[in-house]
Structure 1
Amino acid sequence: MNTLAVHPSAVVEAGARLGDGVRVGAFSIIGADVEIGDNTEIGPHCSVHGPTRIGRDNRFIGHAAIGGEPQDKKFGGERVELVIGDRNTVREFVTINRGTQGGGGSTRIGDDNLLLAYTHIAHDCVVGNHCVFSNNATLAGHVSVGDHVILSGFAGVHQFCRIGAHAFVGMGAFVNGDVPPFVMVAQEGYSRPRGINNEGLKRRGFDAERIGAIKRAYRALYMAGNSLDEARAKLVELANDSRDVRDLLDFVDSGDRPLLR
């Protein structure tokens, strides 16, 4: 039995597909070519434009602008999309744009993320699972964010950068290079690495042995005075005994932008 509940003042355009248990609040607009999964709540004064696909059990609290056109001067109205997974919470005035044809055609958000007020996620970004973006955190276009990443308030990430899994970006930090997995970044002009995300790793069940291996990798990469080639050689050695260091090494080897050092 469909238990769809749409406020009388809301507008749901023809062609939108709303799953069972979807709730749409007052004065919200759901555009054509929007698909919303079961038990998702769209709060008051939200706009969702298509093509957009949203999974189940999400909460959009209010005044969110979802699936808008990419803020890219090259955009010419071509068909591009936004895909959002399950169980995300999206707070007030969050903006998430669709992709661009030149960037692969889609912006993608995973599952179980918390996006606090005024977060902005630009075109062609890919965000993993279990991330927390604090108030006013901003991703420029084509940014890739791994799982369990925390962006603190007013953090900004330059276009095409990558943020590795379990990284922590401090309040007001401006990121203009790739941030490896597990690393903690703090503001000092443009941001610099400030150690590993030790507390976050403990909260996610990393034991002392795993954290110790990550610390040794961090020292080789950032504290030993090594060139990047020398640091990489040390990471290759350390990766023999640590899956986490192998993940870190894979990240270092796969980027197009300079590594943040």
Structure 2
Amino acid sequence: MNIAPSAIVDPRAQIHSTAKIGHFCVIGPDVVLEEGVELYNNVTLLGITTIKAHTTIFPYATLGTIPQDLKYEGESSKLIIGEHNLIREYCMINPGTKGGGNQTIIGNHNLLMAYVHVAHDCKIGDHCILANGVTLAGHIEIGDHVNIGGLTAIHQFTRIAKGCMVAGASALGRDVPPYCNAEGNRAFIRGLNRYRMRKLLERSEIDFISVLYKKLFDLKDTSIRNNALKILEQYPDNPHAQEICNFVLQSNRGIAIKEGYFQDEEAT
């Protein structure tokens, strides 16, 4: 175990023998650091916080302090951060509240750049990149392989599905279905994230999803929910149709689409 002499580590904390803790770090009694976790100097970890294997946390990050939510009443809640994450300088991540399942969860292989804020009860998947200054309000859900540009703010309870990209300096207040690009203040879906689709999908799958979105976002004399129901009837056994259309039907905040904004020239 490599703990700098100036670090303050509560003796009740569970620290793996291979973890590294830099100068002037503060580690609370209910913190768990698993194999290969590395903390640079001046990192603060409090609350019931688990950092899983081989995650690296950079200077002045503060994780596990109580939620910035006036409804929080001191209930026991958790922050769970997965494996192989990079959490850069001045990030702040809060645990959950009783209104959101009492836990904030971050998956594996994510990059949170400097000054990212992840509020209470958020859930972030795997292989995501949140650029500098991204701000997540409470109860946000982000799928796998999502990129969010710098200085973007996202409203509470918003969902961003897998494979999406949100452009920098956006303000997103509605849900974004799988593989879409969103941009603007307020952000709307502009097209498909074909870069990510080519990394994750076969050509035939990309073509199918492209046509599906053209049908889904054809809003003349109908609604996106009606379109989703029709597509589910048309393709009851297709996993992409099921995933995308059910995401739309389960949306509480609505989908970030505006008629005439969606453009995908490769779809036929």
TM range (shorter): over 0.9
2:169 is matched with 172
| Matching residue of 1:195 | 191
SS at match of 1:179: coil
Q: 1:102 to 1:241 in 2, by over 3 A?
A: closer
Distance, in Å, in 2 between the alignment partners of 1:238 and 1:23 is 55
Residues 220 and 234, structure 1, Cα contact 8 Å, conserved in 2: no
Letter in 1 for 2:167: G
Unaligned runs of 5+ in 1: none
CA distance in 1, matches of 2:245, 2:139: 22
What is the CA distance between 1:21 and its match in structure 2? 0.7
Structure 2 vs 1, CA of residues 211 and 224 (structure 1 numbering), >3 Å: closer, same or farther? farther
The 1:239–1:18 alpha-carbon spacing in structure 2 relative to 1, beyond 3 Å, is farther
User: Secondary structure at 2:240's aligned position in 1?
Assistant: helix
| CA positional deviation for 1:223 | 4.2
1:1-261 to structure 2, matched below 5 A, reads 4-187=1-184, 189-202=185-198, 204-223=199-218, 225=220, 226-237=222-233, 239-240=235-236, 242-261=238-257
| Aligned CA-pair RMSD | 1.4
- Aligned pair in 2 of structure 1 residues 102, 230: CA closer, same or farther (>3 Å)? closer
| Aligned equivalents of 1:29, 1:229: Cα separation in 2 | 49
Percent identity of paired positions between Structure 1 and Structure 2: 34
State the Cα deviation string for residues 135-193 of structure 1 (Å, max 9, x = none): 11111000011111111111111001111111110111111111111111011x30110
The one-letter code sitting in structure 2 at the alignment partner of 1:73 is: L
On the 8 A contact 1:238/1:245 being kept in 2, the answer is no
Give yes or no for contact 1:213–1:242 (8 Å, CA) kept in 2: no
Check conservation: 2:225, 2:249, Cα contact below 8 A. Answer: no
Query: In structure 1, how many angstroms separate the alpha carbons of the residues matched to 2:78 and 2:42?
Result: 22
Provide, for residues 209-235 of structure 1, a one-character-per-residue CA deviation record: whole Å limited to 9, x for no partner. Answer: 111111112112224534223321342
For residues 239 and 151 of structure 1, what CA distance do their matches in structure 2 show? 31
Please give the alpha-carbon distance, in whole angstroms, between the structure 2 residues aligned to 1:168 and 1:247.
18
Q: Distance in 2 between matches of 1:54 and 1:198?
A: 33
Question: How many pairs are equivalent?
Answer: 256
Following the alignment from structure 2 to structure 1, what is the Cα–Cα distance between the partners of residues 131 and 231?
32
